């Protein structure tokens, strides 16, 4: 009979109890964790994310949260600054060097408006 020794005494073991022994592995034998590769996000992904966040702030403002209204105003200001920075970077001769006409077309504006709105004052006179 399993579970009995020669002297007739019962020996309790993991096998006779129907249990599994879990023995921890030594630290040296453990495999190093794989690092997750960072997911790259494309412009449509980011646009969708920002849109969801903005809709959430609008819902909060509609519910009476004045702080959400202030947050939306600050986001509007930051968006304007970011647009100017991006337009100047796109027009930079050391960078992609897009023309103001190309930048304005992508933005949905005229070349003159893009220059007036985003160009450095030095470039406007040249």
The angle formed by the CA atoms of residues 122, 84 and 58, to the nearest 5 degrees, is 155
pTM check: above 0.85: no
| Domain residue ranges of the chain, discontinuous segments joined by + | 43-125
Q: Which residue has the tokens 């073991």?
A: 13
Q: What pLDDT was estimated at residue 118? A: 94
Closest CA to 103 of 25, 95, 57: 95
Q: For residue 85, give both structure tokens.
A: 């920075």
Tens of pLDDT along 20-66? 656 566 666 566 677 777 777 788 999 999 999 999 999 999 999 99
Taken in order 42, 43, 47, 53, the sign of the CA dihedral is positive
Q: Helix-strand-coil percent breakdown of the chain, rounded to 5? A: 60, 0, 40
Q: What pLDDT was estimated at residue 124? A: 46
């Amino acid at each position: 009979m399993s579970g009995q020794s020669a002297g007739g005494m019962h020996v309790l073991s993991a096998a006779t109890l129907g249990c599994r022994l879990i023995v921890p592995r030594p630290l040296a034998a453990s495999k190093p964790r794989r690092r997750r590769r960072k997911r790259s996000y494309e412009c449509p992904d980011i646009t969708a994310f920002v849109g969801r966040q903005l809709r959430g702030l609008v819902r909060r403002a509609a519910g009476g949260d004045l702080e959400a209204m202030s947050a939306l105003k600050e986001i509007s200001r930051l968006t304007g600054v970011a647009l100017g920075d991006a337009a100047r970077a796109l027009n930079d001769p050391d960078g992609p060097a897009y023309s103001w006409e190309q930048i304005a077309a992508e933005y949905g504006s005229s070349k003159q408006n893009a220059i007036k709105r985003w160009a450095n004052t030095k470039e406007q006179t040249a």
